[in-house]
Chains A and B, each alone.
Chain A
């Protein structure tokens, strides 16, 4: 059973298009995240949701909009795609902070987005 899954795995699209990436976790976690990994492998958080509420929103362009229909899903919608959006996008989930302990995050397999 896949713990954190993302679809699609690869996404090739043209500039100006709108696209979505879906993420689902079956770990029962309360907190989900989106990260962007650039061509130099640098990982940076974009958003975090806890129980469907936005708790982290880094300096991400408004063209990126996360949506959490329920605790197990966190989707990422991107409007008006630009060349600079090309990257690998990772979804992750975690128990977050529980019982005074900060738990690790488990990552999905990533979605490689290429904008041409």
Chain B
């Protein structure tokens, strides 16, 4: 069975600081996908990124970057120059490529950006 661990329950940083959200996953499958979702205070779930298990290249999108390391089963998310609008709960999730369609979520990290 697969599992996703987000050990950081809550993080607070002052605006403009950089912050990294950790995600560690477990699966016996070799082919899988990892995702990050954002849930702002308004409640909706917003898709941020998808990464497959064969692509270990880091990705950057504006102030957001993701570091995928299969050796440590981690898929960490960094926000540089944080802004108040980044305040949200962030979820990491895992889905196998074959068989079980289930998207397994971590417990989320609540990020608060202090102005």
Contact at B101–A103, with CB atoms within 8 Å? Answer: no
Closest to A110 in B: B43
Contact at A55–B101, with CB atoms within 8 Å? Answer: yes
Given contacts A41-B39, A110-B43, contact A103 B107 (CB under 8 A): no
A17-25, A42-50, A60-68: which lies at the interface:
A42-50
Given contacts A107-B45, A109-B43, contact A102 B33 (CB under 8 A): yes
Contact at A105–B47, with CB atoms within 8 Å? Answer: yes
The residue that B35 contacts in the complex, of A58, A90, A104, A112, with Cβ under 8 A, is A104
- Residues of B in contact (CB 8 Å), total 25
Closest to B44 in A: A109
Shortest distance from the beta carbon of B41 to any chain A beta carbon, whole Å = 12
Given contacts A42-B105, A45-B103, contact A102 B97 (CB under 8 A): yes
In B36-57, the 8 Å CB interface with A consists of: 37, 39, 43-47, 50, 52
In A72-116, the 8 Å CB interface with B consists of: 88, 90, 92, 96-97, 100-107, 109-110, 112
B residues with a Cβ closer than 8 A to A are: 33, 35, 37, 39, 43-47, 50, 52, 89, 91, 95-98, 100-103, 105, 107-108, 110
A residues with a Cβ closer than 8 A to B are: 31, 33, 40-45, 48, 50, 55-56, 58, 88, 90, 92, 96-97, 100-107, 109-110, 112
A-B contact pairs, 13 of them (CB 8 A): A31-B101, A42-B105, A45-B102, A48-B101, A96-B101, A97-B97, A102-B97, A103-B50, A104-B50, A107-B45, A109-B44, A110-B43, A110-B44
